[in-house]
Structure 1
């Protein structure tokens, strides 16, 4: 049955990927996107078959230190991690996949709950010949990182959660019910039609309203790039599914939380975004939490406070891990 499901995911993913190559009026008029690997020659763009679907990923670095897997969030792709990849690549392999449904990865017909996405990334890691990893996740990516560590705790040396929240953990409904989280329930045919050709208009809500200062958030070049990526056929639908799956995620995470994670965990949150909320949640699911609130930053930590954020990430990732057996 598992093999059959993987085959079906691969077939439907291939059909959706083929559809994504068809031209559309709004995509044709989108600004020319920068090449995601042009800025750093050491970063390679690759694709691998994992868990029945094709996953696109960026790879940099070499060495014997434990590989790092970087997981992006909504409105972005693996492209967001390039500045960090070059900082981490001296002694280790650094992997930054596009989550299924995003960037260059396949768009499966189902499986956008974070438990399944984590299984996809885990399959990618194993297909590449690695077992032990260190995880970093931002936004939706932190949910996938947590689901990965919860399902495969013996294979995760450390984990970083960056500014969002964990569905189903503690008083998480306070986040769900916040006025600016209406997009959690924004999915289906009508929302897809409303944003078609207006992907950037929709994303400006996230890039501007979740930033401490909209003028110092995601760059203009990256806004063009991400808007064009998600404007490709089927990509907005897939992105909406990340939110549509929150109910299932909450059920899964409530079960995961009953077994606290043992590996070191760093939580990075923007002072003007998650604040201490995610840190408090993390302490409910882990026995070894370091919490850092980045002063003056909003949700987009890598863009709003790159130096402070990357300094904390490099410090934590390069530290010896007590969970490295």
Structure 2
């Protein structure tokens, strides 16, 4: 049971964006900042934050343009989104930070650590990074049809507006071994977060800039190595070989990469198995005793 009274909500103004920040835990605790993916909002981290609040200062945001984050939604490129997050980190004075991102949020985390490199550690979950192997293989997968569809200008908005709950439910169901793990309350929250057409556009823009993201990440791979410790997490039933992703990170120039598998979970690991998701992150962040083995 999640105690909603433990969460504090605020708006932080950064570079034309009013970012919705949700926080729990001790203000002087080691900070962990969570970034969501599509088609979700800060709400996807609620269970993890509830578990973590006794061990850390945990924060989650609505990405620019989504939910209660208003103003400049950026162009959707992960570089611009990372810049907003970077300014937010500075505005909140977050030090010794663990930056966690799921799905598109994981792409933002990767851009952040390559562009800024001022976080102590990073966690990327259940995503492929544009321009980083196995990017090409993923794009060739016919089950990833929505990458191309969401990239079409205007059309997705026309077809999805007013049908957010039904459209999002398709992905939440097909990518989750046990769809009941994502509650009706959570599903309604996601539909509400993208209720405005501008919010739909903000989310679809994350797909419309993937080619731009891939070019930026390829250029970064030709630069200096990234030394920020990275934990890559993937649901046990997500599909794909986690070893291919780890090798891709190392080939791209990340020198400290670790991995973990969240048992029983598909794509939405933080909601399907929040306990194990937090356990793996907490051990990596030094908030629990090191894992054996």
Other-structure match for 1:93: 57
**TM-superposed deviation, 1:91:** 5.1
Q: CA 1:295–1:132 in structure 2 vs 1: closer, same or farther (change >3 Å)? A: closer
8 Å contact from structure 1 (residues 88, 94) kept in 2: yes
The count of residues paired between Structure 1 and Structure 2 equals 281
Per-residue CA distance 1:203-238 (angstroms, 9 max, x = gap): 12211122233x344222211121122122321111
1:165 corresponds, among 109, 122, 128, to 128
Other-structure match for 1:185: 148
Other-structure match for 1:57: 21
8 Å contact from structure 1 (residues 51, 124) kept in 2: no
C-alpha distance in 1, partners of 2:41/2:234? 20
C-alpha distance in 2, partners of 1:147/1:165? 12
C-alpha distance in 2, partners of 1:128/1:71? 15
What is the SS of the residue equivalent to 1:56?
Answer: strand
C-alpha distance in 1, partners of 2:13/2:234? 33
Per-residue CA distance 1:137-162 (angstroms, 9 max, x = gap): 10001111111111221x21111111
2:263 corresponds, among 295, 301, 324, to 295
**TM-superposed deviation, 1:49:** 0.7
Moved more, 138-147 or 121-130: 121-130
What is the SS of the residue equivalent to 1:74?
Answer: coil
Q: CA 1:131–1:73 in structure 2 vs 1: closer, same or farther (change >3 Å)? A: same
What is the SS of the residue equivalent to 1:261?
Answer: coil
Other-structure match for 2:230: 265
Other-structure match for 1:278: 245
Q: What is the TM-score normalised by the length of structure 1?
A: 0.80
C-alpha distance in 2, partners of 1:122/1:131? 12
Other-structure match for 1:17: none
C-alpha distance in 1, partners of 2:196/2:3? 23
**TM-superposed deviation, 1:70:** 0.7
Other-structure match for 1:206: 171
The structure that has the greater radius of gyration is 1
C-alpha distance in 2, partners of 1:296/1:109? 35
8 Å contact from structure 2 (residues 63, 69) kept in 1: yes
Moved more, 276-285 or 133-142: 276-285
Does structure 1 residue 197 correspond to structure 2 residue 165?
no
Does structure 1 residue 240 correspond to structure 2 residue 207?
no
Q: Give ranges in structure 2 of 5+ residues lacking alignment.
A: 289-293
Q: CA 1:204–1:91 in structure 2 vs 1: closer, same or farther (change >3 Å)? A: closer
8 Å contact from structure 1 (residues 42, 60) kept in 2: yes
C-alpha distance in 2, partners of 1:318/1:217? 28
C-alpha distance in 2, partners of 1:280/1:295? 21
Q: Give ranges in structure 1 of 5+ residues lacking alignment.
A: 1-37, 321-325
C-alpha distance in 2, partners of 1:253/1:96? 25
Other-structure match for 2:6: 42
8 Å contact from structure 1 (residues 71, 98) kept in 2: yes
8 Å contact from structure 1 (residues 71, 97) kept in 2: yes
